[in-house]
Amino acid sequence: MIKGLAITPPVLGRISIGRVIEKNGIRLPQKDNQFTITSQIQEKDGWVLHPLDEELRKDAPNSKLRTIPVRMLFNEADLNLRAEYTMFDRKSGRPMCVGNGDTCKRLTQSGVQSLPCSGPTLCEFGKGGLCKPYGRLNVKIGDDDDLGTFIFRTTGYNSIRTLAARLSYYQAVSGGLLAYMPLELKLRGKSTTQSHRTPIFYVDLVIKEGVSLPEAVAEAKETANRVAEEGIDQAALDAAATKGFGNALFEYDEDEMTEVVEEYYPSTPDEAFAQSPAVVSELRKNLVINKSVTG
C-alpha cells in the first residue's frame, strides 16, 4: 500500500443541503432547506444531479427531498463519520492542522508536528474562523454498489454533534451491528438565539420511517447472520477501513480541495451569506463562526 495516501470509501456521489452559486463573478455558498444528491460530474452550471435524486423526489412531499434511506458501510461509528477540528489553507484547500480538542497534527516549516489542541475558539493558530469542525459522513443509498458510498461533508456543529451521537447510540443498541440497521438521513430545522431565531437546518440520522427500534435491531441481527453465512466478513472490512484511514497524516481528496475553499472560505463572507442577515450579524460580531453554513 502506498504510504501517505488515505484510502477512503469509494464515492459514487455527494449529499448536500446547499450549493455553490456564482454572484458578481464570485462563487459563493448558498443555503437550502432540502437535500440534493449529485454525481461526481461537474458542468458549468454546477454538479450534475445523480439519478437517485430524481428517483427519491418522486415520493417526497412537494418534491422536497428531506429524508434519504441509507445504511452504513461499517459497524464502527467513527469509520462512517470522521470529524475533527480542521484548518485549511485558503489557497490550496489542503489541511494545515487537524485536531480532536486534545492533540493535533500541524503542518509547520519543519514538517508535521504533534501539538496540544484547544479547539477553534481558544487556538491562536486557527482564530478568526480559520479552524472549523469538519465532518465527512459516508453512507450507502440503494443496493446497486456493495461498497460504493455517497458522502456528506459539513462544518456545521449541529449536524456533526447529532450524527456522532446517533451513530454511537445505534452502534450500542444494535450490539455492534450498525452496518445492518435500516436508517435514514433526516433534515431538521431549528431556531436559536445565535441565529436570531432564523431557522437553520442540520442533518439527523434516525430509524427508517415505519420501523420501530426493536424491529430495526431484529432486522440488523437477521441480516448480519445471513451475510455471515454468505461468507462476507464485516469485521475484516472495518479493519481494512481503519488501516486505510490511518495510512496518511491527513484525510483529504485532491479533487475536493477547490470545493472546500469555495464552500467554507468564500472570498467575501458578507456577500456569501447575504441572504441570511442573522449569520452576517454573527460573523461581524465575531461570536460563533459558521454555525449555519451547512447546518
Mean pLDDT by 10 residues, the chain (295 residues): 84 86 68 90 86 94 94 98 91 87 92 91 84 94 94 92 98 98 95 74 96 98 98 98 86 69 56 36 37 43
Per the structure, the count of domains in the chain is: 1
Residue 173 inside a domain? The answer is yes
The neighbour count for residue 22, using CB atoms within 10 Å, is 11
Residue 85 inside a domain? The answer is yes
Residues 6+ apart with CB under 8 A from 226: none
Residue 218 inside a domain? The answer is yes
Residue 4 inside a domain? The answer is no
Structure confidence at residue 277 (pLDDT): 38
Give the residue numbers spanning the domain of 274. Answer: 11-285
Residue 2 inside a domain? The answer is no
Cα gap 260→226, rounded to integer Å: 40
Could you give the count of Cα atoms lying within 13 Å of 59 in the half-sphere of its Cβ?
6
Structure confidence at residue 241 (pLDDT): 96
Structure confidence at residue 286 (pLDDT): 36
Structure confidence at residue 220 (pLDDT): 99
The whole model's pTM is what?
0.84
Residue 290 inside a domain? The answer is no
Residue 20 inside a domain? The answer is yes
Residue 105 inside a domain? The answer is yes
